């Protein structure tokens, strides 16, 4: 049978994915400051002109990379209603994915860490963290509404604590993989938040 030709959108999506993966690899290998559009294009096998057409600038590239590496990081959440169960699944799944140490997640953590001192990265990662906290706050608010989370819980405070803990675990795993065993850790951290958030039955 003849091979079905890819659509223009499919070709573009494939090229963008390859370029973003090349960017992530370069960041992990050599750091954020070494990343350029030209080097990314060379790594992925695309011309500088095509790279510039897709991204335009390094700033736009970093924005797209931060979004791509964070979106859908924890599988299996789509279709789950907001609430305590989804929140605990997210925490458990996040730590489990940290244990797999994908290039994309390593690159995201390096971007996040460097954003503290890099003015061009700070607004990008600030927006990503705001989106993450908003997602967590939605779960917490839904859990309070359905009676599974203690109404005395402050959603934003808890969201800040969870993001800090998950990102911190990720950075520790990146720095010392042998010191962070994510399988038992994911169970203990998830159970901690279950006890901390759940409405007391007494």
Whether 6 has a pLDDT exceeding 80, the answer reads no
* Residue 36 within a domain: yes
Could you tell me the residue range of the domain that residue 51 belongs to?
A: 8-56
Contact indicator for 100, 160 with CB cutoff of 8 Å: no
- Mean pLDDT (the chain) is 90
Q: What is the pTM of this model?
A: 0.85
CA-to-CA distance for 46 and 19, rounded, in angstroms? 8
pLDDT at 1: 52
* Residue 202 within a domain: no
Convert the pLDDT of each residue in 60-106 to its tens digit: 998 998 888 887 788 888 889 999 999 999 999 999 999 987 898 89
CA-to-CA distance for 160 and 156, rounded, in angstroms? 6
Convert the pLDDT of each residue in 22-71 to its tens digit: 999 999 999 888 888 999 999 999 888 888 888 888 889 989 988 888 87
CA-to-CA distance for 112 and 146, rounded, in angstroms? 34
Q: Are residues 100 and 169 in the same domain?
A: yes
* Residue 1 within a domain: no
* Tokens coding 8: 């223009």
* Residue 40 within a domain: yes
pLDDT at 202: 41
* Residue 64 within a domain: no
CATH (domain of 146): 1.10.357
* Residue 63 within a domain: no
Number of domain units in the chain: 2
pLDDT at 156: 97
Task: Give the angle 94-98-101 at the CA atoms, nearest 5°.
Answer: 145
Q: Are residues 83 and 148 in the same domain?
A: yes
CA-to-CA distance for 99 and 178, rounded, in angstroms? 10
């Amino acid at each position: 049978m003849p091979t079905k030709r890819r659509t223009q959108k499919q070709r573009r999506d494939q090229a963008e994915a390859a370029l973003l993966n090349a960017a992530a690899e370069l960041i992990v290998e050599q750091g954020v400051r070494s990343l350029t559009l030209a080097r990314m294009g060379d790594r992925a096998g695309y011309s500088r002109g095509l790279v510039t057409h897709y991204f335009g600038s390094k700033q736009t590239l970093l924005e797209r990379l931060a979004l791509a590496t964070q979106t859908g990081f924890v599988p299996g959440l789509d279709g789950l209603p907001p609430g305590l169960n989804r929140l605990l699944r997210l925490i458990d799944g996040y730590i489990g994915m940290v244990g797999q140490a994908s290039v994309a997640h390593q690159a995201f953590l390096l971007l996040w860490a460097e954003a503290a001192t890099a003015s061009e990265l700070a607004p990008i990662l600030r927006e990503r963290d705001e989106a993450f906290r908003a997602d967590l706050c939605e779960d917490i608010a839904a859990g309070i509404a359905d009676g599974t989370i203690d109404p005395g819980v402050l959603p934003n405070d808890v969201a800040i604590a969870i993001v800090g803990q998950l990102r911190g675990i990720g950075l520790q795993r990146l720095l010392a993989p042998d010191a962070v065993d994510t399988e038992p850790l994911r169970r203990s951290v998830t159970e901690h938040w279950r006890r901390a958030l759940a409405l007391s039955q007494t």
